[in-house]
Structure 1
């Protein structure tokens, strides 16, 4: 009887978290699935089955949105992984100002995404922006960063990386510092150099940090909206339209059921990509 009581007593501590999770996540998720099959307003709804999903897949710019979403997520994820690892290695080295530099690298993560988008939109203006004005001082004609359909998406992605690489760096710093010193001492005895230290110890043994950065950065890229909307609103044309921006435009047009169906599709799309990726990465982890 005492064991049963202890088990019930232990589970009681989970009840508050379970209630909060149910109210904030489970119930809204189930409601989203339901309202995605309705034509609804704030005061009324009509059940229409799968019509919203059929109409959403007929959206003219949807194929561009899917392609841009994949490109944006892949580019930002790769750059955050590479940049975060290199900065993590540098900021765990023997440098005097590493505490200050860590703060500076992490600082952009704390800034408002909308504010960052507005500032960089101004800086990337083709004629009066700070970037092209600076390039002109060296005789270089800068491109129209956000107006050129070929580079607009990559321009926004670069800002996303600048803002988010600090978070990836912090994860890598934690992962690198958790590697036991014995590995470094063994490498030193064997006559290994800095490259051997990086490639043979840091890269494989910081794989859990790498996996975390990949998953978080990839999910963030697939769901990205606020920075893209603040900088380009999906333009020029559909050059930077992603799935989330298409959904937002439908909300703006008053097609709430259609937009809700789009959110459900985005949820399924992200889950379908991230779940197998997560399982694959977890199988590759190296135990210390």
Structure 2
């Protein structure tokens, strides 16, 4: 379909079923597809397996789905901003596949590129490679599910053998992403730090749903400025430039101190 515009976020996510896997863009709260997440929350979808750098905060982003206990498993690289995440994980309610950040990015990119797996030095000599990382706890605090050991092989680097660990690529049923600009063909442009994991998540999803702040006609975007081509995007929803955006931790000087330095 050439025209990929959908009328609303609710329409765009309506066929995401219980138990689906999703790749979700964002880094912290930057670039979160908040309208799509809210629509998914409103429709009651549950049992989700989500791949995202982090899980938002307690009252925003993916934290909303987590707080409503709609998430079964998270594959993430950072989980330190969400107290409910900690509670659910330690109580055995949530499964977590903790993955080094660069490895997570490459797993998504590889999945979107049709690459089944790759070798990396990241994690060699640790539980990432050797297995044993807790993925799910039992109610008594013991480890119910642990990560398995991964294949480790030596490859020459500048003539010297070095160990590398095999990491499998990630593909998901759906992807949810946020962009600043898009056209009806699905070409996307991201704003600064909001670019983060969004293009990679979009590539990994078999069906990618993008929310954009402003939707333009085909041909209005400079082809050289497109960050993600429309071939990776299947549905696009305009949410407007005034959509709420939050900052995890705002740190500023007190007004009196700033005035005293002027």
Q: TM-score normalized by structure 1?
A: 0.24
Larger fraction in strand: 2
Of structures 1 and 2, the one scoring higher in RCO (CA 8 A, sep 6+) is 1
Larger fraction in helix: 1
Q: TM-score normalized by structure 2?
A: 0.26
